[in-house]
Amino acid sequence: MTIVLEGIRTFDNIRKYYFDVVGEDRTRQHVTVGADLDLVRRYRIPLQELPLLCRRLLEGRTKIETIMFTEGDMARYARERTAEANALMQKRQARRAQVSNRTGLAWRGSRPPERDR
């Protein structure tokens, strides 16, 4: 199955994405996916991501039909995006190796102090 974005239109506060779904037997089906722009703003979803999110919504369905990108779908996406951002922050804040107390001794030409045994 191939999904191709054919166009975008906004009516009142609903943005509609028009897709052509081409099946394995080369049959075409026209499908519309709508998204409420108030909910998009509430969940802070960038408008540039909406076409791909709507396409992903179509890919996950067995029956292709005209649908809405619901508040539940948006909330799920916002949670996933937050979890990914948190994981990235934790990765960036990972512990660094401690600096050795012998740093710089090679270029100074001195030997480390000897310890009592």
Question: In the structure encoding, which two tokens stand for residue 55, read together?
Answer: 């396409």
Residue 44 near residue 77, CB atoms below 8 Å: no
pTM of the model as a whole: 0.69
For residue 32, name the pLDDT band (cuts at 50, 70, 90): very high
Residue 77 amino acid letter: Y
Q: What is the CA radius of gyration of the chain?
A: 27
- Residue 100: band (very low, low, confident or very high) from pLDDT cuts 50, 70, 90: low
Rounded Cα distance between 1 and 16, Å, is: 21
Over pLDDT 70: what percentage of the chain?
Answer: 80
Rounded-to-integer distance, Cα 6 and Cα 55, Å: 12
Q: State pLDDT tens for residues 50-76.
A: 999 999 888 877 777 888 988 999 999
The DSSP letter of residue 103 is: T
